[in-house]
Amino acid sequence: MADSSVADVDANALLDEANSTSEAQGEPKFTLELNQDQKDIREWVHGFAEGVVRPAAEEWDEREETPWPVIQEAAKIGLYSFEAMGQFWADETGLTLPIANEELFWGDAGIGMAIMGTALAVAAIFGQGTPEQMGEWIPQCFGTPDDVKLGAFCASEPDAGSDVSGIRTSAKYDEAKDEWVLNGQKAWATNGGIANVHVIIASVDRELGSRGHAAFVIPPGTKGCEQGAKVKKHGLRASHTADVHLDDCRVPGSCLLGGKEKLDERLARVREGKKSKSQAAMQTFEASRPTVGAQALGIARAAYEYALDYAKEREQFGKKIVENQAIAFDLANMKLEIDAARLLVWRAAWMGRQGHKFENAEGSMSKLKAGEVAVWVTERAIQILGGNGYTREFPVERMHRDSKIYTIFEGTSEIQRLVISRAISGFHIK
Ligand SMILES: Cc1cc2nc3c(=O)[nH]c(=O)nc-3n(C[C@H](O)[C@H](O)[C@H](O)COP(=O)(O)OP(=O)(O)OC[C@H]3O[C@@H](n4cnc5c(N)ncnc54)[C@H](O)[C@@H]3O)c2cc1C
């Protein structure tokens, strides 16, 4: 018989050696175990989601209004703040941001988006702004706990959703005044018109398509930037969505994210036929996809947990419905799909934070999978709850309505598949 203790010692010694070598080389060892900071943040956000967000979910879904008091509660505990975002982002593994989003959206997605919608504007300023612009505008997206504010990121237009190259909103430079003049209409903007700070993607040279886009900050109270129609929605109803109109909207030259010199250099490169590093809107989406996937996961997990508890309580034909293989297998598959999606989300978040190139569109994969899992899991949850699942007395129908947007915004499922198929094949799939 082999001496297992010797084998164990050898294996441990080898592991230690391998770990110390990789650590010495500055490479963190692979682990899926969360560190104490991550666990603490997860618990903190979960506590807020359970104690404050969930109890308010039904009311704000029915009212279809921005839940200002809940956002203020989040600001008071520091969750809705520049500092919290910075802390989530600072985690070198990249996992804290998706973990916090999953927990918050587990509480409720509509309120979750009312709290996190600002992050899209922040991501754009963070990704494309100069340090001065970040310092000036990001805090203004949040305001203070006594006077909370919101940010809005406006790329989509009535005729430019999936195809951002169709953006017609124009930005023209008035050299004499060092001002940019914006004209156009933005559609479906989260927090559009009620935000303190709007980030607008506009075309500075239409002939260049999406490579001629730039991102502009519209400071609070700027004339010519107005809310259009507020959209009534299928789900995510506590989150405000509206058109934004820009009519001769003048902003100082300093509101161009990244600055004019950088823009001129980039446009010159494009005009010479050289590859531009990235496009304004696409940069923001690429960085935010795993986070958006994590939000979908939160909804899916909430519906799965609700359905599991229900199936263990509900009796038909003299037994718990979970004792039927049909129900139990559905629940097993729901759990399986959620966990699989989370691994894709964590991988993409980790890659993004390490600065790894998404060779196979791993960011898109994570959002695609998590969004589709959320729609499927929430639909199954309704089925498991039967008639109750279909009523507004039980939360799974709301979760199902909320989940659907995750196959539409930040790139529809079809667009994610397009991105992935192009990445893996090298062909320009249409
Ligand atoms: C609640 C909500 C919040 C939003 N928040 C924001 C926001 O904050 N900021 C913002 O800028 N935008 C926002 N949007 C807009 C959102 O990003 C767009 O709705 C989305 O990108 C899809 O664009 P579209 O609606 O024009 O659909 P379309 O582009 O018209 O697509 C319609 C259908 O055609 C398919 N399709 C299109 N092109 C192709 C193709 N090449 N191959 C295969 N299929 C294709 C699509 O997948 C889809 O199924 C929001 C939308 C909603 C509903």
Q: Is the minimum distance from the CB of 412 to ligand 1 under 6 angstroms?
A: yes
Does the predicted TM-score (pTM) go above 0.95? no
Distance CA 46, CA 99 (A): 10
Looking at the predicted structure, is the pLDDT value of residue 13 above 80? Answer: no
Out of 64, 113, 115, 162, mutate this one to test ligand 1's pocket (max ligand atoms within 8 Å of CB): namely 162
Query: Ligand 1 test: best mutation among 116, 408, 430, most atoms within 8 Å of CB?
Result: 408
What is d(CA 375, CA 305) in angstroms, rounded to the nearest whole number?
15
Token pair of 276, please? 């531009």
231 CA to middle of ligand 1, Å?
14
φ, ψ at 65 (rounded to 5°):
-135, 160
Residue numbers annotated as active site: 410
Q: What is the pLDDT of residues 385-417, one digit of tens each?
A: 999 999 999 999 999 999 999 999 999 999 999
Q: How many CB atoms within 10 Å of residue 26?
A: 6
pLDDT of residue 1 exceeding 50: no
Distance separating alpha carbons of residues 120 and 109, to the nearest angstrom: 16
Tokens for 5, please give them. Answer: 């203790």
Ligand 1 contact, 120 CB (< 6 A):
yes
pLDDT for position 29? 78
**CB-ligand 1 contact for 153 (6 Å cutoff):** yes
At 282 the pLDDT is: 60
At 246, is the secondary structure helix, strand, or coil? strand
Averaged confidence pLDDT in the chain: 93
Q: Does pLDDT of 148 surpass 60? A: yes
Residue 199 predicted with pLDDT over 90: yes
Bridge pairing between strands 151-154 and 197-203 = parallel
Beta-carbon contacts of 371 under 8 Å, excluding residues fewer than 6 positions away, are 292, 293, 296, 403, 406, 407, 413
Q: What's the pLDDT tens digit per position in 236-249?
A: 999 999 999 999 99
Overall size of the chain counted in residues? 430
CA angle 260, 204, 252 (to 5 degrees): 50
**CA-closest residue to ligand 1 atom 50:** 188
pLDDT for 131 equals 97
Output the pLDDT for position 20.
59
Distance CA(78)–CA(48), nearest Å, equals 11
Distance CA 372, CA 297 (A): 10
Tens of pLDDT, residues 69-89:
999 999 999 999 999 999 999
Protein residue closest via CA to atom 4 of ligand 1: 188
